[in-house]
C-alpha cells in the first residue's frame, strides 16, 4: 500500500543571509537526496512533498513554494516545483502561479535533470500559458542546461536555449513569424511606451549571447518581410520592406566592439528629406563601431552606405548616447557620383512643385560633410549639365564646374562656380560666366558683382542672394542690363525685325514662395524711350498657371523705330502712355486699363503711312473723313497728323475703346494736321478682345484685317 510524506519547513529569515542560505540549501539537498537514495528503505512512501513557504533573495522573492516528488525508481521520477507568486528586480511584473512539471526526471547526488517537462505561468506578455521545458544541473561542475520551446509571442513563436555556468553562460533565442502589429501589447506589459508609429509585417530573429557576470559577446540576425510603418503625421512612411539586419558585439577591456550590416532588398521609405526604393542588388548599410563600458558613447570607425551604380558613402564619427543623444563628430564622404541618378531616386520624389519635377541633371559630383562644433560641406562639381523644363525649355546650363563650401559657422571659404554656356526659354543664349559666392547658414550670396553675357549684352548682378525660410527659398536681386540689340532679340524670339536697343535697371527684385516681385521702379530703355514698371508681381513662374500683375508707364517712345519694321505701317513721332492694373493669366491679358497718345509738346515730325491708316481704320468700325473720296486719298503715301491715341479698358473679354478726343458719333484715333490731312474716327465703343487680337495677328503677319 502506497503512502505519502509531507514535510513543512518554516522560513524565519531571508534566504539571502549567507549563513542561513548555506544551512537551508544543505538541509533541502539532504532531505531530497536522502529520500531518493534510500527509497528502498522507504518503499511504503511513493510521494514526497516539501512545503518551503516564502523564500526571499537579494533581488527576488517566491511565495508559497512547494516541491512535490514521485518516484519511479531510485533515481528517476516525477516532480513539481510551484509557487503562488514570484517576483524579481529584472521582471516588470510578478509571475503568478509559476509551475514546473517534470514528467521524466533524474535526481541523484551528482545532478538534477528534467528530460521532459512543462513550464506553466500566467503573464501578460505571452500568448500561451504553458510550453515544453528541459533542464539539467551538474553538482560538481555547476553546469546548467535550459531549453524552452513553443513560446507564443505576437502570433509568432520563440525557442530559448541557455547553457553553461553562472560564470560562463550562452543563450540562443530563435523567433519566427513575430508580428510587429501585435508588438504594442507586450511593450505595454513591460511598461514601455512605444513611439506613435503604426507598424505591420513579420520578423524572424536569431540571437546568440554569451557572458558571465557581464555580457561578453552577442551576434544576431533579424529578417523582416513586408514591413510597413507610418508616424502619426504621415511624414515617415515605409511600405513593403524586406531585408535583413546582421550584427555582432564583443567585450573588450574598456568596452565593446562590433559590426552591423543592413540589407534592404525591396520596398520603399519616404521621409521629408529623401526617398529610398532599392533596385537590383538593394541598399546596403555596414558599420564597424565601438561602445564604452557604460554604453554612453558610440564611436564608428567606418560606416558605408551603398546602392550599386547610384551612390556610395563612407562615414566616421562619435555620438553621445547619454544623458541625451548628440552628434559630437561626424565626417561623411561620397565617391564620385552621377547627380541625376541620386536626384531622381532620392530627392525628386520628396521635392514638391513642377520646377523640381522637370529638373534634370547629369555630370559628376563629389561631396564631403563634416560636423564638430559647426557643420561644413564641400561640393566638387565636374561637367554638370542642368536642364529645367521639357527638354530644357525653361533654361539650361552646360559645363558647370566649381567648388562650393558651406558652413553654419561664422567663417567659410569662398565658393566658385562657372559654366560654359546656357539658354533661357530655349532661344536666349547665355555666355560663359563665373561667380564668387559665400554659402553660410541658410543664405547663399554673391561675394562680388557678377556678369552674365546675354545675347550681345550683359546682365550685371550687383546684389544676389538666396535665403531659405520656413516658406521656402527667398531670392533677392539688384542689377542692370547693358544694351542688347533689338534686332538680335527679334531674331531670337521669332518676332518681326525691330530696331534700337534694350537695356534696363532693376533696383530690387525678390522671389519667394513662387512669387516674383519688383521693388521700386524698374526702368527698361527701348525704342529710344523709357518703359517704367511698378508693382510687378509674377506668381507661379514655372508652374502651369503663371499670373502677372503690374502697372506700366511709357515715356517718349520713338514710333518710327517701333513701327518701321512691322507690317503695321510707318508712323513718325513720339508716344507716351500707361497701362494700369495689367493682369495676365497664362501670359494672356484678362484685365487692364490702357491709354496711349502723342505727347502734348511733341515737336514731330508727325507723319503716318497709307498702310498704317488702313490698318488703324480697319481695326473695328472706323471712318475716314476730311477727303473727297478714298481713291483720291490713295495717291498719297503719307499723311500729316496732329495727334493720335487709343485707349482700351479690358473687362470680361470686352475692350471698352476710346481715343484722344470726342468726334461726331465717335472718337478720334488720329486727328489730322498739315497737308494732306486725314482724321481717323472710331465708332465702336466695345470690341471683343479675342477678335481684336486676331486682327492684330493678321496685321503682324502682313495681311489686312477682315472687318465684318
Angle at 273 between CA 267 and CA 275, to 5 degrees: 20
Asked if the model's pLDDT at residue 309 lies above 80, the reply is: yes
Asked if the model's pLDDT at residue 463 lies above 70, the reply is: yes
Q: pLDDT tens digits for 217-276?
A: 999 999 999 999 998 888 899 999 999 999 999 998 888 999 999 999 999 999 998 999
User: Is 198:180 a contact under the CB 8 Å cutoff?
Assistant: no
Asked if the model's pLDDT at residue 623 lies above 70, the reply is: no
User: Is 511:545 a contact under the CB 8 Å cutoff?
Assistant: no
Asked if the model's pLDDT at residue 497 lies above 60, the reply is: yes
**For residues 78-84, average pLDDT:** 85
Question: Which of these ranges, 173-177, 457-461, 585-589, 620-624, has the smallest mean pLDDT?
Answer: 620-624
The predicted pLDDT at position 610 comes to 80
Is residue 72 very low, low, confident or very high in pLDDT (cuts 50, 70, 90)?
A: low
Q: pLDDT tens digits for 58-70?
A: 777 889 888 887 7
Stronger pLDDT, 337 or 680, i.e. the higher one: 337
Stronger pLDDT, 375 or 639, i.e. the higher one: 375
**For residues 597-616, average pLDDT:** 86
**For residues 614-622, average pLDDT:** 67
Stronger pLDDT, 233 or 364, i.e. the higher one: 364
Asked if the model's pLDDT at residue 196 lies above 80, the reply is: no
Is residue 629 very low, low, confident or very high in pLDDT (cuts 50, 70, 90)?
A: very low
Across all residues in the chain, what is the average pLDDT? 83
Question: Which of these ranges, 269-273, 294-298, 616-620, has the smallest mean pLDDT?
Answer: 616-620
Q: Comparing C-alpha atoms, which of 178, 168, 157 is closest to residue 209?
A: 168
Query: In whole angstroms, how far apart are CA 534 and each of 257, 460, 557, 582?
Result: 67, 21, 18, 11
**For residues 204-217, average pLDDT:** 90
Asked if the model's pLDDT at residue 25 lies above 60, the reply is: no
The predicted pLDDT at position 241 comes to 94
Q: pLDDT tens digits for 689-706?
A: 888 888 777 766 654 433
Stronger pLDDT, 194 or 249, i.e. the higher one: 249
Stronger pLDDT, 494 or 551, i.e. the higher one: 551
Q: Comparing C-alpha atoms, which of 620, 626, 624 is closest to residue 648?
A: 620
**For residues 267-291, average pLDDT:** 92
The predicted pLDDT at position 625 comes to 42
Q: Comparing C-alpha atoms, which of 220, 222, 208, 209 is closest to residue 178?
A: 222
Whole-number Å distance between alpha carbons of 625 and 683: 13
Identify the sign of the CA torsion 32, 36, 40, 42.
positive
Is residue 161 very low, low, confident or very high in pLDDT (cuts 50, 70, 90)?
A: very high
Is residue 431 very low, low, confident or very high in pLDDT (cuts 50, 70, 90)?
A: very high
Identify the sign of the CA torsion 41, 43, 45, 46.
positive
Over the range 471-500, which residues count as b (16 or more CB within 10 Å of their CB) and which as e? eeebebbbbebbebbbbbbeebeeeeebbb
Question: Which of these ranges, 32-46, 69-83, 198-212, has the smallest mean pLDDT?
Answer: 32-46
CA torsion 14-18-19-23 (nearest 10°) is 70
The predicted pLDDT at position 20 comes to 45
The predicted pLDDT at position 634 comes to 60
Q: pLDDT tens digits for 368-394?
A: 999 988 999 999 999 999 999 888 788
Residue 189: which H helix or E strand, with range?
helix 184-189
Asked if the model's pLDDT at residue 400 lies above 90, the reply is: yes
The predicted pLDDT at position 700 comes to 61
Q: In terms of DSSP bridges, do strands 654-658 and 638-651 run parallel, antiparallel, or are they unpaired?
A: antiparallel
Identify the sign of the CA torsion 362, 367, 369, 375.
negative
Beta bridge partners of 236: none
**For residues 670-685, average pLDDT:** 82
**For residues 604-615, average pLDDT:** 84
Q: Comparing C-alpha atoms, which of 137, 140, 210 is closest to residue 172?
A: 210
| DSSP string for residues in 2-54 | -EEEEEE----S-TTSHHHHHHHHHHHHHHHHHHHHTTTTTTTEEEEEEEEEE
Whole-number Å distance between alpha carbons of 569 and 696: 12
The predicted pLDDT at position 635 comes to 63
The predicted pLDDT at position 40 comes to 43
The predicted pLDDT at position 619 comes to 66
Asked if the model's pLDDT at residue 140 lies above 50, the reply is: yes
Stronger pLDDT, 673 or 456, i.e. the higher one: 456
Residues of the chain with pLDDT > 90, as a percent, come to: 37
Whole-structure pTM value? 0.71
Is residue 598 very low, low, confident or very high in pLDDT (cuts 50, 70, 90)?
A: very high
Amino acid at each position: 500500500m502506497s503512502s505519502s510524506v509531507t514535510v513543512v519547513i518554516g522560513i524565519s529569515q531571508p534566504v539571502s543571509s549567507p549563513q542561513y542560505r548555506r544551512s537551508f540549501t544543505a538541509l533541502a539537498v539532504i532531505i531530497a537526496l536522502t529520500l531518493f537514495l534510500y527509497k528502498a528503505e522507504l518503499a511504503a512512501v511513493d510521494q514526497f512533498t516539501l512545503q518551503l513557504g516564502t523564500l526571499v533573495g537579494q533581488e527576488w522573492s517566491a511565495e508559497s513554494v512547494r516541491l512535490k516528488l514521485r518516484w519511479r525508481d531510485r533515481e528517476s521520477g516525477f516532480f513539481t516545483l510551484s509557487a503562488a507568486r514570484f517576483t524579481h528586480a529584472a521582471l516588470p511584473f510578478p509571475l503568478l502561479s509559476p509551475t514546473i512539471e517534470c514528467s521524466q526526471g533524474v535526481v541523484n547526488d551528482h545532478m538534477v535533470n528534467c528530460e521532459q517537462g512543462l513550464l506553466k505561468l500566467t503573464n501578460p506578455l505571452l500568448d500561451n500559458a504553458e510550453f515544453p521545458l528541459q533542464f539539467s544541473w551538474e553538482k560538481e561542475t555547476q553546469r546548467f542546461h535550459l531549453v524552452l520551446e513553443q513560446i507564443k509571442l505576437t502570433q509568432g513563436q520563440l525557442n530559448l536555449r541557455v547553457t553553461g555556468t553562472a560564470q560562463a553562460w550562452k543563450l540562443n533565442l530563435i523567433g519566427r513569424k513575430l508580428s510587429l502589429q501585435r508588438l504594442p501589447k507586450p511593450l505595454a506589459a513591460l511598461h514601455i511606451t512605444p513611439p506613435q508609429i503604426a507598424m505591420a509585417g513579420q520578423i524572424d530573429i536569431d540571437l546568440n549571447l554569451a557572458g558571465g557576470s557581464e555580457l561578453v559577446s552577442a551576434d544576431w540576425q533579424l529578417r523582416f518581410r513586408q514591413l510597413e510603418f507610418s508616424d502619426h503625421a504621415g511624414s515617415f512612411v515605409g511600405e513593403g520592406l524586406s531585408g535583413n539586419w546582421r550584427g555582432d558585439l564583443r567585450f573588450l577591456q574598456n568596452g565593446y566592439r562590433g559590426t552591423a550590416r543592413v540589407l534592404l532588398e525591396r520596398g520603399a521609405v519616404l521621409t521629408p528629406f529623401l526617398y529610398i526604393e532599392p533596385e537590383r542588388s538593394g541598399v546596403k548599410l555596414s558599420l564597424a563601431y565601438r561602445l564604452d563600458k557604460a554604453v554612453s558613447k558610440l564611436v564608428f570607425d567606418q560606416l558605408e552606405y551603398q546602392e550599386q551604380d547610384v551612390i556610395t558613402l563612407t562615414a566616421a564619427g562619435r555620438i553621445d548616447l547619454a544623458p541625451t543623444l548628440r552628434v559630437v563628430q561626424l565626417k561623411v564622404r561620397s565617391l564620385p557620383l552621377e547627380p541625376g541618378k541620386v536626384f531622381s531616386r532620392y530627392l525628386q520624389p520628396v521635392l514638391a512643385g513642377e520646377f523640381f519635377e522637370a529638373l534634370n541633371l547629369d555630370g559628376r559630383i563629389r561631396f564631403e560633410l563634416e560636423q564638430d562644433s559647426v557643420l561644413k560641406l564641400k561640393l566638387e562639381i565636374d561637367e554638370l549639365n542642368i536642364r529645367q523644363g521639357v527638354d530644357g525649355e525653361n533654361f539650361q546650363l552646360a559645363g558647370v564646374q566649381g567648388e562650393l563650401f558651406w558652413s553654419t559657422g561664422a567663417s567659410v571659404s569662398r565658393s566658385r562656380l562657372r559654366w560654359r554656356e546656357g539658354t533661357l526659354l530655349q532661344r536666349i543664349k547665355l555666355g560663359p560666366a563665373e561667380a564668387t559666392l559665400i554659402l553660410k547658414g541658410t543664405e547663399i550670396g554673391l561675394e562680388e558683382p557678377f556678369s552674365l553675357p546675354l545675347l550681345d549684352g550683359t546682365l550685371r548682378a550687383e546684389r544676389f542672394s538666396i535665403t531659405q525660410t520656413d516658406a521656402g527659398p527667398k531670392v533677392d536681386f539688384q542689377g542692370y542690363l547693358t544694351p542688347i540689340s533689338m534686332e538680335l532679340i527679334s531674331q531670337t524670339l521669332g518676332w518681326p525685325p525691330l530696331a534700337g536697343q534694350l537695356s534696363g535697371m532693376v533696383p530690387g527684385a525678390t522671389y519667394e514662395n513662387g512669387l516674383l516681385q519688383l521693388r521700386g521702379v524698374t526702368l527698361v530703355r527701348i525704342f529710344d524711350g523709357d518703359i517704367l514698371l511698378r508693382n510687378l508681381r509674377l506668381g507661379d513662374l514655372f508652374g502651369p498657371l503663371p499670373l502677372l500683375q503690374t502697372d506700366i508707364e511709357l515715356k517718349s517712345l520713338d514710333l518710327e523705330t517701333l513701327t518701321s519694321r512691322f507690317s503695321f505701317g510707318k508712323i513718325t513721332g513720339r508716344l507716351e502712355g500707361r497701362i494700369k492694373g495689367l493682369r495676365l493669366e497664362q501670359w494672356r491679358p484678362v484685365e487692364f486699363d490702357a491709354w496711349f497718345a502723342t505727347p502734348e509738346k511733341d515737336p514731330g515730325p508727325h507723319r503716318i503711312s497709307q498702310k498704317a491708316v488702313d490698318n488703324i481704320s480697319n481695326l473695328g468700325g472706323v471712318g475716314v473723313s476730311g477727303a473727297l473720296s478714298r481713291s483720291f486719298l490713295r495717291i498719297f503715301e503719307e499723311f500729316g497728323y496732329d495727334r493720335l491715341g487709343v485707349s482700351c479698358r479690358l473687362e470680361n473679354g470686352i475692350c471698352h475703346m476710346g481715343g484722344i478726343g470726342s468726334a461726331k458719333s465717335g472718337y478720334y484715333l488720329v486727328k489730322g494736321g498739315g497737308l494732306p490731312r486725314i482724321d481717323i474716327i472710331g465708332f465702336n465703343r466695345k470690341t471683343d478682345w479675342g477678335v481684336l487680337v486676331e486682327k492684330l495677328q493678321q496685321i503682324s503677319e502682313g495681311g489686312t484685317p477682315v472687318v465684318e
